[in-house]
A and B are shown apart, each in its own frame.
Chain A
Amino acid sequence: MEHIALATGFLLILIGLYGALTQRDILRMIVAFTIANTGVNLVLVAVGYIRGRSAPIINDNLPAAEATARMIDPLPQALVLTAIVIGVGITALMLAYAYKLYILRGSLDISKIKELKW
């Protein structure tokens, strides 16, 4: 049961990669990459999930003492935060590139940008 999140995560990654590698249009590629990123983040979180445990928020109904026994592994969630932030950064950069390339080339087709080769 708990593997659904993991499976969907991987599925999303594959869809994202497939989209990025087949679409000619740059914007579609960026969208595909973001899907792949969300897939990765989902996997990250899913790995930390332990069946039958609660979210790692220490408050009154989850005292620090028996926190380690009743909560899921908090660390992947922390990692996910940075991963998301970094994913945002890179996507922003990609969009900036797409914008600049469009101004310059007038087209968003990745196969047009081939002057640097061999």
Chain B
Amino acid sequence: MGFEWIKIPYSLLTLFIVVNYGLLLNALIAKIAARVGRRHGIPIWQNYVDMIKNYGLRTSITHGVMFYMGPVFRLSGGVGLLLFVPTIYGSVMFSNLSFAGDLILALYFVFFGTLGMALGAGESGHPYAAIGVSRGLAQVTAAELPFALAVFAVALQYETLSVTEIVAAQQGSYLNWTLFTNPFAVAAAMLSFLGSMMRPPFDVVLAPQEIPIGPPTEYHSSYLALMQTNRAIFPIAKMVVYMNLFFGGAVSWPIFFVKIFLIYMVSVLVGVVFPRFHVEHSVRWFLIWAVPLGVIAVAIV
């Protein structure tokens, strides 16, 4: 896995595509959610405008070094996760920087952003930020367990930890996706996917209006802009991992866009329907429903 310098422009290209796709996808999803409520919904390019406006704001305040670096941790977590996992299977251009680490790197790099964001929110001195972080961390422990079990089951099934090999094993017809070869693992993973997407059943962390948007309460102007870029990249990066592991990866960008959209719709559909869980309910819910699936997946693989 020698390091070729050409990988950098290629990964920047992937990053550019994914950022734009992310912003448009978020807007589209918001519009679909609006249309469900028979509202016209935001224009597709609204995310771009919001980002430019936030970058363009003239003043900003800072509570300290950690507060300043919070969004940087967050965004580098999102970008890193995206770049450490190959997006398009088979193409050298879009295998990004996946030579650095395998599936486990992706699994643990998710926490890099969360930890940085938590520290930044903590430095802001706002009690709601701390409450939001404590809820988020508490929920993530239960949400991560089924995903870890699913990943372990998949790794056992394909006898490898490198993402490209897992995707390679799922090529051919859609029948040999992990979805069909190991449905329990996919079920557990998708349930934990709901937990990590900050959508209504499990969005007690941000809980808009309740603890005014939780951790990012004190963030504004360019910090918020960085977070918005992350909100575009991070879900996509996470879904890339899900796609590669469970849904046969993407051979070309159109397939990539469709699959990501469909995976995203899973959390949207669930999110639009359900009310918000308390933290203990969501922890209990994961341990009761999602973990047994994961255990079965590991047991039968």
Asked whether the complex places CB atoms of A and B closer than 8 A, the reply is: no
Chain B positions near chain A (C-beta within 8 angstroms):
none
Chain A positions near chain B (C-beta within 8 angstroms):
none
